[in-house]
Amino acid sequence: PVSVFENPKAASLSVAKRIGDLIKEKQKNNTHAVLGLATGATPIAVYAELVRMHKEEGLSFKNVITFNLDEYYPMQPDAAQSYVSFMNEHLFAHIDIDKNNINIPDGTLSLEEIPAFCLAYEKKIGDVGGLDIQILGIGRTGHIGFNEPGSAPNSGTRLVTLDDLTRRDAARDFGGKSFVPTKAITMGIGTIFKAREIILMAWNRKKASIIKKAVEGEISGEVPATYLQLSEHVEFILDKDAASELT
Ligand code: F6R
């Protein structure tokens, strides 16, 4: 299903509310909530609202376990552009989550260590009962996570090569495209698919044409987000601009 909101703020508040409700429901049952998280511009207002709910409404994250979708490779966690830094800045530093419950792909591994790390990441998600909610943005290549065109629908967590357009879109954060890593470690399409709820968010005109392809286009590895059409528990949360090319 597709939900279209007046603006990104209203859409973000609704997503944050769903996450907050899930966390509270799990607290009632004395269990944990497992969240799959994204970085980038799209989810920033969702995280801001979750921080507000923590500070003003006492929402606790003590029972929350998180798995981020991806990290650049190579990447030091304390670098300004790392997704570790992003998550600390926008969410983790401001809430009461147990640091041991935070999982982000490790950009410091040697190439030889990556396959075992990726298998362990998948296993860890399974061991805590799987992802309750996976939050996604979408890249202009149609990537979800860093699953670029050509990704297989059953792909797992792995090292991938970033598309040139993705690196161009990241150039501003790095002070030039040549400084953007060429690779990343990302959860796979198959990993994302196993989440019990998948929420893909997109805002702004510049996402309108890729959203049209993702929602209405032929299902194909050329636009990895089209695989989401095959899922029965995916929701596209859009603002009017991102939805503007849908028929
Ligand atoms: C980030 C991620 C990416 C982004 C996508 C959109 O963890 O996995 O797929 O969601 O590149 O980025 P923004 O939100 O910056 O437009």
Measuring CA to CA, which residue among 130, 143, 159, 139 is closest to residue 71? Answer: 159
In whole angstroms, how large is the CA radius of gyration of the chain? 17
Alpha carbon of 149 to ligand 1 centroid (Å): 14
Residue 216 annotated in active site:
no
The SS3 call for residue 197 is strand
Q: What is the pLDDT of residue 148?
A: 98
Q: What is the pLDDT of residue 190?
A: 98
Q: What is the CATH number of domain 2-239?
A: 3.40.50.1360
List the domain boundaries for the chain. Answer: 2-239
pLDDT along the chain (247 residues), means of 10: 98 98 98 98 98 98 98 98 98 98 98 98 98 98 98 98 98 98 98 98 98 98 97 97 97
Alpha carbon of 42 to ligand 1 centroid (Å): 7
DSSP symbols for 125-179: HHHTT--SEEEE---TTS-BTTB-TT--TT--SEEEEPPHHHHHHHHHHHTSGGG
How many Cβ atoms sit within 10 Å of the Cβ of residue 245?
A: 16
Residues with CB under 6 A from ligand 1: 38-42, 69-70, 137-139, 143-146
* Mutate-to-test residue for ligand 1 from 138, 141, 160, 162, highest number of ligand atoms within 8 A of CB: 138
ipTM: 0.99
Residue nearest to atom 12 of ligand 1 (CA): 40
Q: How far apart are CA 38 and CA 19, in angstroms?
A: 13
List residues bridging with 159 in a β-sheet: 185
Q: How far apart are CA 211 and CA 98, in angstroms?
A: 35
Residue 137 CA, closest ligand 1 atom number: 10
How many Cβ atoms sit within 10 Å of the Cβ of residue 98?
A: 11
Residue 159, token pair as written in the block? 């090292």
Identify the active-site residue in 148, 197, 216, 218.
148
Measuring CA to CA, which residue among 145, 108, 133, 163 is closest to residue 35? Answer: 133
Q: How far apart are CA 73 and CA 119, in angstroms?
A: 17
